Amino acid sequence: MNEAPWKRFTSDQLRAALLVDRPVVSVAAAGAGKTQVMAVRYCACLLRDGELLGPERILAITFTREAAVNLRARIDHVLRAVLQAPVPMFPHALRGEAESELTPAEIDHLARCLQRLPGSPIGTVDSFCSALVREHAALLGRDPDLHPPGSDGPEWKACRDDAWRRVRAEMAAEGGGDLLDLVDAHGEWPMRGLIADLAERSASLPSDAAFASDGDPIPEVLLRRAAELAAIPAALEEAIATTQAKNQGGQAVRQAAQDYERAPGDVASWAGAIGGLKAYGSEPAKDAIRRLRALVREPEHGANLGLVAAWRGPDEDVWRQRAERLGRCVDRFRTALDAAMAQRGLAGFAAIAHDALRLLDDAPKRARLTARYRHVLLDESQDLNRLQGALIDRLRVGVHGAENPRVFAVGDHRQSIYAFRHADPDQFRGWERDVEAAGGATAPLGMNFRSHPMLVGAVGQLFSSPEMAEEFRADTVVAGKRAEDFRVPGRMVCTSVAGGEDATAAADQVARTVAALLMDGRRPEHVAIILRTRRRMRRYADALERIGVPVDTDFPGGLYDAQECHDVESILRLCLDPHDRFALACAVAGPWGVDDPQDRRLMVEALSQDAASAWRMIREATAVGAVVDAISPVLADEGVAAALRALAHDPRATGRYGRLPLARRRLANLLALAEE
């Protein structure tokens, strides 16, 4: 029987879950259990005092489809936990009782809600807008079967290509124009990228007529980019003066300065180099490099805007004319892009959201639509762009004099990671600031139930510096579990590394920590270093080797790209399909193939024939066929782990790999993964 999840809630979680009689904004730290809180709140909304709501009256919006599936599953779990209890009970905050027994009518209502849950409106902002637009397709002049193209798929690229060709052709027919002048001045591909990017950014704003980047009108953007370009020579001089020529960071700064001096007007040639500089050296040197790097934000987009910003002189009238021309290009490109998608029965997410916003801006339609939903639950609110935020605002405000939906918005502006999709976390901060004045409440969730308390404490220490204290508010994030609540044995080492962005210093610190663990009696196979990218593996391997610690790693592809793993994989693939030509080629050079792995004659001769003939030839000439016959029933009856064990202990494999410690370790690691 499932335990009711609210029984483990803190007082803050209970407040966020059960305060359903008003709008609530909840700032939730990482690992604060917000999905579980949302699931319990959903059920609390179904059981409002004096009215039993159906799931169709509660709109739940998540940021991704996976999150929507997860939330629906959590709600299902909560409903079943209530209904399967010997005495169904649920906390009713509005009654002032901690928990009360449900009436037969409430039990029957929850049972019906559970049956209707699969069809309830739980999804992303985009799916909500799409459903709304399909419902009113005739009114909006849309195809009711519209579907958005993938953001990087062939349909989307074809639409962009068509739109660009259409705008170019229109302006050429008109005898020239804004776009052709820009292309002649700066080249087609830079301008194409800039205009397409500005069109995407402007589409994420609530107003169709807003041509903006970073939320600012184009004239202000160009002026800011021009000021940044003008400041680069002085910033380069400062960085050169504070860095050492022998230092890696100093060398990169001097190379960027040479690129700039060679062609200062060719922004695209040096903007990327400056934007990618790493902060090495002393603290003054790091600060100088960071200030220089801050002048070139978003290398590609910044470079393209810089091309326009550097064009002609810093004359105010020229700036305005340039911005207006660029704005007209963006406007025409967006119109052409919408037309190209409409021809294919497509509509971009932004176009669909704009249609939904137009519906909500019409007072009679908004009154009908907002009356449909009694509650709105909004997850990851900090990652909404301004257009999506405007949609939520329309639902929040509703219609004057009517009972409007009660919005529960959960998020954390510090966790906003979708700036590249034009997320605006300041919207959520504004909701948090204004909710109490609008008759709502705040319900912060500061306890982290996911991470070890040592890790939570270390993060709090790292971010408690005076310059970050107000923004991060480390005192609001506390550990929700004790160290003994974690079942994984071992210890956690939390440390900060002196050296800032100097990755070598971090690698050396990690190597010293690993050496200390080994000296304390830890076995080497119990120590793993997990890195964000494979490119860093060599740096950490070198640091370990410098202090005499043996390393088991594989460059560049990881464990699964090791030859030993390919050898056993080829046998498993041949068990499933003896005509797999890739597996045949690999198996011929493996332990069960030819004696000399470098002898390619059999492989070339066999694979020059059809697959069936190749398999017959390799069976006759090597032991591959025999081992496939032996392993196939093991794979079918006992699974992959048993088949791998049999291959690893086969005499031909031990004969090939037994003298190679690293190969033995790789096979052992592969077996451990298969067992798990």
Q: Which residue has the higher pLDDT, 284 or 39?
A: 39
For residue 556, say if its preceding peptide bond is cis, omega within 30 degrees of 0.
yes
Global pTM reads 0.67
3-state secondary structure of 212: strand
Least confident of 112-126, 353-367, 433-447, 492-506: 492-506
The segment with the largest mean pLDDT, out of 79-83, 395-399, 514-518, 549-553, is: 79-83
Least confident of 40-44, 167-171, 176-180, 214-218: 214-218
pLDDT digits (tens, 9 = 90+) for 498-532: 554 556 778 888 888 888 888 888 777 677 777 76
Residue 667 near residue 611, CB atoms below 8 Å: no
CA distance 627 to 607: 20
Q: Please tell us whether the domain made up of 5-127+353-442 is placed in CATH 3.40.50.620.
A: no
pLDDT digits (tens, 9 = 90+) for 45-91: 998 756 788 999 999 999 888 889 999 999 999 999 999 888 888 88
Judge residue 518's burial from the number of C-beta atoms within 10 Å of its C-beta, 0-12 exposed, 13-18 middle, 19 or more buried. Answer: middle
Query: Looking at this protein, which amino acid is placed at residue 511?
Result: A
Instruction: Give the length of the chain.
Output: 676
In this predicted structure, what is the pLDDT of residue 210? 47
Q: Which residue has the higher pLDDT, 145 or 621?
A: 621
Domain extents for the chain? Answer: 5-127+353-442, 149-346, 451-485, 503-546, 559-675
Contacts 24+ apart (CB under 8 A), 453-462: 453/479, 453/481, 453/482, 453/483, 454/483, 454/492, 454/494, 455/492, 455/494, 457/494, 458/494, 458/495, 458/496, 461/496, 462/496
3-state secondary structure of 319: helix
User: 410: which strand partners?
Assistant: 26
Rounded to 5 degrees, what are φ and ψ at 469?
Answer: -60, -45
In this predicted structure, what is the pLDDT of residue 79? 92
- DSSP letter for each residue of 248-310: HHHHHHHHHHHHHHH-TT-HHHHHHHHHT----SSHHHHHHHHHHHHTS-SHHHHHHHHHHHT
pLDDT band per the 50, 70, 90 thresholds, residue 182 = confident
CATH code for the domain defined by 559-675: 1.10.486
Q: Which residue, among 7, 33, 73, has the nearest Cα to 450 in the 3D structure?
A: 33
Least confident of 389-393, 400-404, 570-574: 400-404
- DSSP letter for each residue of 548-572: T------TTT-GGGSHHHHHHHHHH
H helices present in 120-217, as ranges: 125-135, 137-140, 154-173, 178-186, 188-203
Residue 379 near residue 385, CB atoms below 8 Å: no
User: What contacts 255, CB < 8 A, 6 or more positions away?
Assistant: 273
Residue 673 CB neighbours (<10 A) = 14
Q: Is the pLDDT of residue 301 over 50?
A: no
pLDDT digits (tens, 9 = 90+) for 435-486: 888 888 888 888 888 888 888 887 777 777 665 665 666 666 788 787 777 7
